[in-house]
A and B are shown apart, each in its own frame.
Chain A
């Protein structure tokens, strides 16, 4: 393996409710943590229940070097995430990280970042790193309605921020890919994470306007280490593993996304 991976127990610093279906888990960074690229993920252990059995793969949401913290933005989905929601300060989490291949980080380019719903998770850390490398960012975040809108203050310090909601209750009305196309400019790169339909539309847009596009895919995973081949992603080079060949892929390598 090229990347160093660690398994460790991290202490919970804070567990913050964001809205009705999302929360943010803050953990202390391990001392021996290998370098982490935005887009990489972690596998977090949750005690097995009648319906959940495997670790939960979660993209790394943010790293604060100053506070020595690593953050995860988590959507309440099943019993595993429900358990994570109950964690309190000073609890410990069994974690394996960093896993997978992240986004590329250019210098001094004009970039668009697009997320739908919980797809904002990896883009905060990405925005931070891209900004640090002197890039000009435009950030497009789409949500179902104003109740679901989150992290505006966090994102707006990195560049121009455009919010869209499906029902128009906040920001521009419409799906984020349509809103993005209206604003489309001479971007060098598009980065995205979100629902499959959104990513599929972006694949078409990136091809139509000939803009390089990297997307982070969410797939069902078992091992997260490249061993079980459960997280297959069909690509022009055959089936690849989301867990080690991704989760970030260049859209020009992909065929059609699995719903």
Chain B
């Protein structure tokens, strides 16, 4: 039984990753799990310059999910390389940095710098953050901007390049195709849905940013449909991210066409969720005599 999968130039020991912004840098979860057991960990969204993010409140609970409007708070890529990376190189897993920026030049500078950092195995280009005024989602919802950005980043980044797509588009397949044709090694489907919640007593939005990104099991069927649609049109691996709480959700995504999955919001409720999901996948393969996880990718019977 094998859980090994390939993403670009990388071979991951298993298809379970943790979603950017939900797992910190791995250290925050050391009391509960050993990050080395995972296929990879995706770092908090990282920008060239430090960012303070949005004012509070940044979070609101919703039905089967939550809204967040953190707004890419991070101390910048140099702080990541100098202060955080040395503490996590010990993890025997792939380290993937989620990269965001204000403009193309910003993304290019950060990607180019990370290209030379040996311990960073891949970057996940964040073209889909719904909570920042500049950059983020504008690249993921405009085909020409996405093309321009990917072409520029591909020029300076030679390692595995993943594009985290926005689900806030009419046809996500078009953005998947652009990612593939511009040389991306994989796509993550997808970031959060733009949402909103209002306090009926104060008449105020529950988030300071007015809108925020919806995550959690509430979005799973929509992301499932998007993974399926993307699988029909691209050959590069799809990494599914959207409301995975249990191993069954992960298997469903593999059948829809995902090569790997990201556990996100579930980490907040069950800090061992990623490892429990991995265990569930292993047991599923064993119990059904499936030799390799690769054998079920995209095998939904239509």
Which A residues are within 8 Å of any B CB, using their own CB? 1, 4-7, 45, 48, 50-55, 96, 219-234, 238-239, 258
Contact = CB atoms under 8 A, between A and B. Distances in A.
Given A7-B32, A53-B62, A227-B29, A232 B73 contact: yes
B56 A223 contact: no
Given A51-B61, A222-B59, A258-B57, A228 B68 contact: yes
A53 B216 contact: yes
Interface string B132-167: 000000000000000000000000000000000000
Given A7-B271, A230-B70, A223 B55 contact: no
B56 A231 contact: yes
B58 interface: yes
Interface of A is mostly: loop
Contact of A222 (B30, B268, B272): B268
Interface stretch (B17-25, B76-84, B98-106, B250-258): B17-25
A229 B64 contact: no
B271 A225 contact: yes
Contacts of A224: 268
A253 to B, nearest CB: 16
Contacts of B44: 227, 229
Contacts of A53: 61-66, 216, 269
Given A53-B61, A239-B73, A258-B55, A45 B31 contact: no
B60 interface: yes
Given A52-B61, A239-B73, A228 B268 contact: yes
Contacts of A96: 271
A7 B68 CA distance: 25
A93 B52 CA distance: 36
Contacts of B55: 232, 234, 258
Contact of A5 (B31, B54, B73, B268): B31
Given A232-B58, A239-B53, 17 more contacts: A1-B28, A5-B31, A6-B31, A51-B63, A54-B269, A222-B59, A223-B268, A225-B24, A225-B29, A227-B22, A227-B267, A228-B22, A230-B58, A230-B59, A232-B53, A232-B54, A258-B55
B11 interface: no
Contacts of B29: 225, 227
A71 to B, nearest CB: 23
Given A7-B32, A225-B28, A232 B56 contact: yes
Contact of A45 (B52, B65, B269): B269
Contact of A228 (B21, B57, B65): B21
B23 to A, nearest CB: 6
B27 interface: yes
Nearest to A230: B59
A222 to B, nearest CB: 5
Contact of A226 (B28, B32, B58): B28
Nearest to B64: A53
A80 to B, nearest CB: 9
6 A-B pairs closest in CB distance: A227-B24, A230-B59, A5-B31, A227-B28, A223-B268, A225-B28
5 contacts: A53-B62, A53-B64, A225-B24, A229-B70, A230-B70
A53 B30 CA distance: 23
Contacts of A1: 27-28, 30-31
Contacts of B70: 228-230, 232
B55 to A, nearest CB: 7
A232 B51 CA distance: 13
Contacts of A219: 56-57
Nearest to A234: B55
A108 to B, nearest CB: 35
Given A54-B66, A228-B22, A258-B55, A220 B31 contact: no
Given A222-B68, A223-B268, A50 B28 contact: no
B151 to A, nearest CB: 31
Contacts of A55: 268-269
A225 B32 CA distance: 11
Interface in B266-297: 267-272
Contacts of B73: 229, 232, 239
A49 to B, nearest CB: 9
Contacts of B271: 7, 96, 223, 225
Contacts of A225: 24, 28-29, 271
Nearest to A224: B268
A10 to B, nearest CB: 17
Contacts of B272: 7
Contacts of B57: 219-220, 258
A234 B52 CA distance: 9
A45 B265 CA distance: 14
A96 B30 CA distance: 13
